[in-house]
Amino acid sequence: MKLDSKIPSGPLAERWKHYRSTVPLVSPANKRKLEVIVVGTGLAGASAAASLAELGYKVKTFCFQDSPRRAHSIAAQGGINAAKNYQNDGDSVYRLFYETIKGGDYRAREANVHRLAEVSASIIDQCVAQGVPFARDYGGMLDNRSFGGTQVSRTFYARGQTGQQLLLGAYSALNRQISKNQVQSFTRHEMVELVMVDGKARGIIAKNLVTGELERHSAHAVVLASGGYGNVFYLSTNAMGSNVTAAWKAHRHGALFGNPCFTQIHPTCLPQAGEYQSKLTLMSESLRNDGRVWVPSHAEDAQAIREGRLKASDLGEDRRDYYLERKYPAFGNLVPRDVASRAAKEVCDAGHGVAPTGLAVFLDFEDAIRRLGRSTISARYGNLFEMYEKITGDNPYETPMKIYPAVHYTMGGLWVDYELMTTIPGLYAIGEANFSDHGANRLGASALMQGLADGYFVLPYTMGAYLSNEIRHAAPSIDHPSFAQAELRALELQNKLLAIQGKRSAESFHRALGKIMWEYCGMARSAEGLRHALGLLESLHQEFWSDLLVPGALNSYNPELDKAHRVADFIELGRLMVWDALTREESCGGHFRVEHQTPEGEAMRHDENFAFVSAWEYHGPNADPVMHSEALNFEEVHLTQRSYK
């Protein structure tokens, strides 16, 4: 298969401008006749649905939550980047573009990333106009902070709830279109099948999660804004319902899956407290600005702490290992996310972990409190400390926090071209659901930017290129045989899941899957481990389809059935991730292969062989997937190896 990324030619900075001026338009009279389905109502989905509806398209939105407002974008804390240069500190579109490419370890498309940086400023304007209450300074101007180790302050924020406020902004725009009947909103609905007619995406089968009924919905184009797949690890900072099912159905129909192994692991999350744990909670990265990360120097001390015989405060400076400061003197506790995460894993693997599970390191504010005073620390991190105490019962003013890395974001996703269309005509993927502009590693405060860029400012233009050719066709009737076939497939799958009547809950399989993925396809991956994981996943797959127990009935409110369906897709996805990780014989960004590291233990890229996007083709649950690749050509930036020593 030849991958056509449709990147426009010409100077990098002019491409998007030129594209916008030349992309075919659809007349207002025709827009009224064109229907678009948007699956997912997070930042990308809600902003796209609202913007498309404003243009005049007829839109249907689908979300599995009880309201579009609850999509998991709502949980993003830190902020949103934009190249506004309000702070006069030398920021520019080029700088944001360059840092995003570099931060992604040179595995993203230049043209896409430049476009992202270009539209970033408009996002802020749009959100302000919607009434998003961004933080402001005393003069009434928008406030910015520096985020994730950047040297400029370009991050806009609304306390620690930026994602929530941005999503509520997009949700309000969506509501306005719903009130005008431009958008029809379907809540508690999950897309369970893609409908293809004559090789084009023409609709979906959605399951009404309350009644259990399958519904047919047709359209001229389908947009997947269904988020990332971090829940393949079971424990992640994703919401419980976040799933890959919509994207996976598309993949099974021929949409290639890009860079599936690129996952981001966030270093400052609350560690797992026990087997019962259902999710991990992120603590803002800003804590590393003042907190010092350490573990006991001696494994015996660590064991004593784990068993409750010693407390952190019992250990003097000489018995502590501030390993980040020791290994990375230049950046210390502020090394990038992937480096900090891997270092934590190393010390814990060596037996120095401090939680009962052995999987946690200390994040200590003792020095900061001594240096700055308790009130300053409280002003900076008070709400985070409270949240920590609420969850763990420990007071971080008195005893160091325990943290551990957790899966946070997936850079991989459905492969899309410059127009955000997947390899299936008429099927688009936006936001975290696509393989996105973050390459192998995403910078802090860039996820919100990308989701809204796709939804507000990119997709509404690029869809014209496809839809202008669709004006001659009415949306297919839902009585078309393709709909009947798709519905039957969905129904058969559900019946199959219900019929197994084994002994284990979907949850227990999900946990088992998570353990395999975390162990072998997590922070550090090896060819041996990955091959082993393939075997484990194979048996898990078999066990799932022979020993699953789904209680309840088909046509009813049955969350267990929905969960089982999601887990089935996650297991298949897990296999693909391992394949991708095995194939990418280099270390880059969030993907660290132990065979490919510098003598100092740092990630080593192999640009000569791997400067490409892997795009995988599905060939059935038991057949090997086939990899295609899109070469990445760097015209503007010069590839360098990262160093934080």
Partner 1 sequence: MENQSLRLKLRVWRQASAQAKGNFETYELAAVPVHASFLEMMDLLNEQLIREGKEPVAFDHDCREGICGMCSMYINGRAHGPQRGTTTCQLHMRHFHDGETITVEPFRAAAFPILKDLAVNRSAFDRIQQAGGFVTVNTGNAPDGNAVPISKIDADEAFMSAACIGCGACVAACKNASAMLFVSAKVSQYALLPQGQPEHRDRVLSMVEAMDLEGFGHCTNTGACEAECPKGISVENISRLNRSYLIAQLSGGGTSTGTNTE
Q: Per CB under 8 A, which of residues 303..362 are in contact with partner 1?
A: 308, 356
- H or E stretch including 323? helix 323-327
Among residues 520, 498, 510, the alpha carbon closest in space to that of 591 is found at 520
Which of residues 7, 37, 44, 51 is near partner 1 by CB under 8 A?
51
Which of residues 85, 155, 165, 587 is near partner 1 by CB under 8 A?
165
Q: Report, in Å, the least distance between residue 508 CB and partner 1.
A: 8
Rank residues 62 and 456 by Cβ distance to partner 1 and give the closer one.
Answer: 456
Q: Per CB under 8 A, which of residues 482..511 are in contact with partner 1?
A: 505, 507-508
Q: Does 599 sit near partner 1 (CB under 8 A)?
A: no
Q: Does 161 sit near partner 1 (CB under 8 A)?
A: yes
CA 120 to chain centroid: 19
Which of residues 171, 294, 483, 520 is near partner 1 by CB under 8 A?
171
Which of residues 1, 350, 379, 391 is near partner 1 by CB under 8 A?
391
Rank residues 310 and 368 by Cβ distance to partner 1 and give the closer one.
Answer: 310
Q: Per CB under 8 A, which of residues 424..463 are in contact with partner 1?
A: 456-457, 460
Q: Does 274 sit near partner 1 (CB under 8 A)?
A: yes
Q: Report, in Å, the least distance between residue 86 CB and partner 1.
A: 7
Joined together, the tokens standing for residue 420 give 């955000």
Q: Does 67 sit near partner 1 (CB under 8 A)?
A: yes
Which of residues 9, 21, 29, 138 is near partner 1 by CB under 8 A?
138
Distance (Å, rounded) from C-alpha 556 to C-alpha 644? 55
Helices and strands counted in the chain (H then E): 19, 19
Q: Does 25 sit near partner 1 (CB under 8 A)?
A: no
Rank residues 173 and 632 by Cβ distance to partner 1 and give the closer one.
Answer: 173
Q: Report, in Å, the least distance between residue 136 CB and partner 1.
A: 4
Amino acid at 570: F
Rank residues 151 and 556 by Cβ distance to partner 1 and give the closer one.
Answer: 556
Joined together, the tokens standing for residue 594 give 């132990």
Q: Report, in Å, the least distance between residue 391 CB and partner 1.
A: 7
Q: Per CB under 8 A, which of residues 280..309 are in contact with partner 1?
A: 281-282, 308
Instruction: Single out the segment in contact with partner 1 by CB under 8 A; choices: 46-54, 91-99, 369-377, 396-404.
Output: 46-54
Q: Report, in Å, the least distance between residue 564 CB and partner 1.
A: 11
Q: Does 279 sit near partner 1 (CB under 8 A)?
A: yes
Question: Do 455 and 431 form a contact (C-beta atoms < 8 A)?
Answer: yes
Rank residues 210 and 379 by Cβ distance to partner 1 and give the closer one.
Answer: 210
Among residues 36, 14, 589, the alpha carbon closest in space to that of 262 is found at 589
Would you tell me the crossing angle of helices 559-583 and 481-500 to the nearest 10 degrees? 100
Could you tell me the strand order of the sheet in which 427-429 lies?
183-186, 58-62, 35-39, 221-224, 427-429
Which of residues 17, 176, 473, 606 is near partner 1 by CB under 8 A?
176
Q: Does 611 sit near partner 1 (CB under 8 A)?
A: no
Which of residues 3, 142, 478, 500 is near partner 1 by CB under 8 A?
142
Which of residues 117, 158, 463, 578 is near partner 1 by CB under 8 A?
158
Q: Does 218 sit near partner 1 (CB under 8 A)?
A: no
Distance (Å, rounded) from C-alpha 67 to C-alpha 181? 17
Q: Does 638 sit near partner 1 (CB under 8 A)?
A: no
DSSP, res 421? B
Distance (Å, rounded) from C-alpha 117 to C-alpha 129? 20
Which of residues 43, 59, 117, 124 is near partner 1 by CB under 8 A?
124
Three-class DSSP category at 113: helix
Q: Report, in Å, the least distance between residue 84 CB and partner 1.
A: 7
N-to-C CA span, the chain = 42
Among residues 230, 193, 190, 226, the alpha carbon closest in space to that of 211 is found at 190
Rank residues 136 and 371 by Cβ distance to partner 1 and give the closer one.
Answer: 136
Among residues 82, 94, 95, the alpha carbon closest in space to that of 142 is found at 82
Question: Do 545 and 500 form a contact (C-beta atoms < 8 A)?
Answer: yes
Three-class DSSP category at 58: strand
Distance (Å, rounded) from C-alpha 59 to C-alpha 222? 10
Q: Does 28 sit near partner 1 (CB under 8 A)?
A: no
Instruction: Single out the segment in contact with partner 1 by CB under 8 A; choices: 72-80, 325-333, 564-572, 637-645.
Output: 72-80
Residues 6+ apart with CB under 8 A from 616: 251, 256, 257, 258, 260, 576, 579, 580, 625, 626, 627, 628
* Residue recorded with tokens 């996002």: 123
Rank residues 122 and 469 by Cβ distance to partner 1 and give the closer one.
Answer: 122
Angle at 280 between CA 327 and CA 305, to 5 degrees: 55
Rank residues 176 and 532 by Cβ distance to partner 1 and give the closer one.
Answer: 176
Which of residues 134, 233, 262, 570 is near partner 1 by CB under 8 A?
134
Rank residues 37 and 71 by Cβ distance to partner 1 and give the closer one.
Answer: 71
Which of residues 3, 13, 23, 75 is near partner 1 by CB under 8 A?
75
Which residue(s) pair with 258 in the sheet? Answer: 413, 615
Question: Do 225 and 428 form a contact (C-beta atoms < 8 A)?
Answer: no
Distance (Å, rounded) from C-alpha 225 to C-alpha 384? 30
Distance (Å, rounded) from C-alpha 176 to C-alpha 35? 18
Instruction: Single out the segment in contact with partner 1 by CB under 8 A; choices: 15-23, 134-142, 245-253, 340-348.
Output: 134-142
Q: Per CB under 8 A, which of residues 533..592 are in contact with partner 1?
A: 549, 551-552, 556-557, 559-560
Instruction: Single out the segment in contact with partner 1 by CB under 8 A; choices: 97-105, 135-143, 190-198, 593-601.
Output: 135-143
Question: Do 585 and 266 form a contact (C-beta atoms < 8 A)?
Answer: no
Residues near partner 1 (CB under 8 A), total: 85
Which of residues 140, 316, 599, 620 is near partner 1 by CB under 8 A?
140
